[in-house]
Structure 1
Amino acid sequence: MAAEAIDRAMGALIGGALGDALGMPTQLLSPTRIAELYGHVEDFVAPSADHPVSKGLPAGAITDDTEQALLLGRILVSSGDRFDHARWVNALLDWERDVKARGSYDLLGPSTKRAIDAINDGVPPEQAGSSGDTNGAAMRIAPVGIMMPPEPLDALVAKAAEACRATHNTSIAIASAAAVAAAVSSGVAGSDWRVASDRAVAAARRGATLGHWVTGGDIAARIAWAQKLVRGKAEKEAIRLIVDLIGTGVASQESVPAAFAVLEVAQGDAWRAAVISANLGGDTDTIGAIAAGMAGACSGLSCLPQGRIARLKGIDLAEVRALAADLVAARNAKAGSGKEAAA
């Protein structure tokens, strides 16, 4: 059971990396521009020389989506039961300094940057994230889903909210992150993508009651609507519906439902989810990371394309495996303590 859980945990993390890397050269571009440059993206490609964010990166390179997810995973393991907000904020700052030194243009997102600036000015973490409603929390939340069992759902949602607090302490961002975490957690527990999607909607409903309320479409309702919208549609038509009706921007209420719609169109296939996401335009790397990460959790690393994994750039598979094992060990400890309490 531990081996299968680690395989699915790896599926979540590496699936997310595949979606991130495939969407790296197409992020911020329109579907028309993507078609002009690449036709239909089906494999890793290098970004254009004038790309505003990805220029200079090689084909198959991961970006902030994967790097911050792995960073959050390490903070979760080192924090134990109580999430260390100070360590998390400092880790994000160190990460940004490192990527700047590497010459990257893919830095902290708007909500995270605004919150960290506030914390550095003395604002408490729970207040600093009070306006963070973009998708930065959802894009990196997969390790919470790996570490937390799917039941009790309230505990999983609470841990997702805790990880959001310093940067994305809003009802919309927490609902979005809780949905993704619940889908990943269900996958690691052995569920298929359909069951995981149902659990995500339930988690989003609970997450929406936490944090600072901000205006915007209900995440649980939008996830369910987005999946129904594309169900049974041909891929080309589904892409049009996602772009035109759901939206692919950094707003949580666009990109997170879009990722669940992609999961539906791909029928739980992680690589297919990555390919669909890369051709959407907009926040392609984040939508791809979320969708393919959820799909990977529901299928496991062994079902992912091994040749393409070998071509990923900027990721150490041995380190990811060690992190996955640590997160699964923490998950098993939580599940064990829950059984003892129930007895």
Structure 2
Amino acid sequence: MMDRTEMIDRAMGALIGGALGDALGMPTQLLSPARIAELYGHVEGFVAPVADHPVSKGLLAGTITDDTEQALLLGRILIVSGDRFDHTRWVNALLDWERDVKARGSYDLLGPSTKRAIDAINNGVPPEEAGSGGDTNGAAMRIAPVGIMMPLEPLDALVAKVAETCRATHNTSIAIASAAAVAAAVSNGVAGGDWHAALDHAVMAARRGAALGHWVTGGDIAARIDWARGLVRGRTVADGIRLITDLVGTGVASQESIPAAFAVLEIAGGDPWQAAIISANLGGDTDTIGAIAAGMAGACTGFSRLPQQHIARLKGLNVERVHALATDLVAARTAKAGSGKDAAA
């Protein structure tokens, strides 16, 4: 059984692990693996983006991006929402967030599915319909707080909460399955489970999630996670990276980046910093894949086992505020579990 202090440590591991993966992948996002190698060799620490980077230009090495900021934002909305997720508050929070990042001069704005949905809502489309085409990875990239707040069992309740938070922007079978997989992996970690168990729970959650939302065409997320894991199992990092980039894909499509994140977790052997490094060298949506992979790994190891010297170099993150959020989310979880304890998976 995990006591509350240990659960908060795992919750912090998910959120700060995600921030490490996000910041490490920030300068390499949208670049090809060849271009990353040309600029940096093999990325093994925080580096600054090139001056003409399409979305990261001007950011300092170690700066977090939308992946981490939106995860923390979702966490706060979950806490103030209580049992029924407040879609209006969530959409307004996303709009306020985008206004704020524009004012800061950032180019890393709302993703394609979220932007499309918010435009629709502003034009009078009901939130439950606005997200009917959202199938990219924005829901999965920010879902960790749901995994922290919701116990693994009953799994249907966890997946239903994931679907509820997806409704306004990513109300599709693929996006919900993807986000459910990531949330279940995080929830497993907060309950004391290891990364092997996280992968198994993720596949089960993805199967349940695929039955929800608007059906859209694309590879089955549960099957692709399972396949991607097997594809890289026992491979070297270099071979694993090549297999992910060649076969799994590293784009914003959920059916590429989410299986890629699980493949990264497999190659890294559950090590959050290694997961962040591997993701940063993939090319494509490196910051999001890194945030998801290192966040899941962090949930399964805990904040206390993350590399503190790298955390100290993160920019744009208030660790005390993250701790306060993690504490609130764990309190909500133990209230849902009923007994004040959450059995390990």
Offset at residue 142 of structure 1 (A):
0.2
Work out the number of aligned pairs and report it: 339
For 2:245, the equivalent position in structure 1 comes to 243
Task: Report deviation, 1:337.
Answer: 7.1
TM-score in terms of structure 2 length: 0.98
Shift of 1:25: 0.1
Which residue of structure 2 aligns with residue 174 of structure 1? 176
Amino acid at match of 1:185: S
SS of 2:93 mapped into structure 1: helix
Q: 2:95 corresponds to which residue?
A: 93
Pair 1:59–1:66, CA change in 2 (3 A): same
Distance in 2 between the 1:40 and 1:196 partners? 28
User: How far off is 1:183 after superposition?
Assistant: 0.2
Q: What is the letter of the counterpart of residue 66 of structure 2?
A: D
Q: Report the 3-state secondary structure (helix = DSSP H, G, I; strand = E; otherwise coil) of the residue aligned with 1:227.
A: helix
CA-CA distance at 1:134 after TM superposition: 0.1
State the Cα distance separating 1:338 from its structure 2 match: 10
Q: What is the CA-CA distance between 1:285 and the residue it aligns to?
A: 0.1
Secondary structure of 2:170's counterpart equals coil
In structure 2, what is the Cα distance between the partners aligned to 1:183 and 1:234?
A: 23
**Which of 242, 249, 273 is the matching residue for 1:271?**
273
RMSD: 0.9
1:154 corresponding residue in structure 2: 156
Identity level (%): 83
Question: Which residue matches 1:19?
Answer: 21
Q: Does 1:202 align with 2:192?
A: no
**Alpha-carbon distance between aligned partners in 1 of 2:275 and 2:237, rounded to the nearest angstrom:** 11
Tell me which residue corresponds to 1:127.
Answer: 129
Off by >6 Å, runs of 4+ in structure 1: none
By how many angstroms is 1:153 displaced? 0.1
- 2:30 corresponds to: 28
- 1:252 aligns with 254
Aligned AA for 2:195?
Answer: W
Pick aligned residue for 1:69 from 71, 81, 84: 71
Partner of 1:218: 220
Gap runs ≥5 in structure 1: none
- Aligned-residue offset at 1:89: 0.0
Letter in 2 for 1:335: A
Q: Which moved more, 1:328-337 or 1:245-254?
A: 328-337
Pairing partner for 1:136 from 135, 138, 141: 138
Structure 2's unaligned 5+ residue stretches are none
Mapping of residues 107-122 of structure 1, within 5 Å: 107-122=109-124
Task: Answer yes or no: is 1:43 the counterpart of 2:51.
Answer: no
The one-letter amino acid of 1:178's match is A
1:320 match: 322
Q: Distance in 2 between matches of 1:130 and 1:251?
A: 15
Separation of aligned partners in 2, 1:272 and 1:189:
22
For normalisation by structure 1, the TM-score amounts to 0.98
For the residues of structure 2 that align with 1:21 and 1:235, how far apart are their CA atoms? 20
Q: Secondary structure at the match of 1:56?
A: coil
Residue 119 of structure 2 aligns with an amino acid whose one-letter code is: D
Residue number in structure 2 paired with 1:291: 293
Alpha-carbon distance between aligned partners in 2 of 1:158 and 1:267, rounded to the nearest angstrom:
30
2:192 pairs with 1:190: yes
